[in-house]
Amino acid sequence: MAAEDAKSVLFVCLGNICRSPIAEAVFRKLVTEGNIENKWVIDSGAVSNWNVGRAPDARALSCLRNHAIQTGHKARQVTKDDFLTFDYMLCMDESNLRDLKRKSNSVQNCKSQIELLGSYDPQKQLIIEDPYYGTDEDFETVYQQCLRCCKAFLEKPH
């Protein structure tokens, strides 16, 4: 499959240091294990500009390491170009969804399908809550939700 035939997904949360980098890393691992890396362009971003250039939260990195996943991601804000280039924007909560849909309205020829990542959860946990003010267990909950949702998303026809 040629690179131009690849599908693309951007995982989005508020600051791009907790939920979306976890989702990005989980999805990247799944496509690597499935030997389909050449079929996907994968990234993550934030609706805010608060953490641009920062590494993911130390608790997010620790959680990923506990599951043998590495990431070198640096936080970035979603750009207008993202709406033109990514097939899917999968976000974590209603606030992210509202922000992305509002931003997409100002982009001509928006090609991104904007959805909640949780809409793919077989356990029907629609919202992936921000663990930033929580505990290590909250980060583990985010990881498990992202794993279930990413597997289900990957299994659907694209």
- Read off the pLDDT of residues 22-33 as tens digits, 9 standing for 90 and up: 999 999 999 999
From the list 19, 28, 59, 148, the catalytic residue is 19
Would you call 130 a catalytic residue per the annotation?
yes
For the cut 60, the answer to whether the pLDDT of residue 74 exceeds it is yes
Question: Which of 18, 33, 13, 9 has its CA nearest to residue 140?
Answer: 18
pTM for the model stands at 0.96
Looking at CATH, the fold of the domain delimited by 3-155 is given as Rossmann fold (3.40.50)
65 alpha carbon, distance to own chain's centre:
18
According to the model, what pLDDT value does residue 111 have? 96
- In the predicted model, what is the mean pLDDT of residues 138-148? 98
Q: Is 87 in the active site? A: no
From 43, 63, 130, 149, active-site residue: 130
pLDDT band of 1, cuts 50, 70, 90: very low
**Residue 157 CB: number of other CB atoms within 10 A?**
3
Establish whether 13 is a catalytic residue.
yes
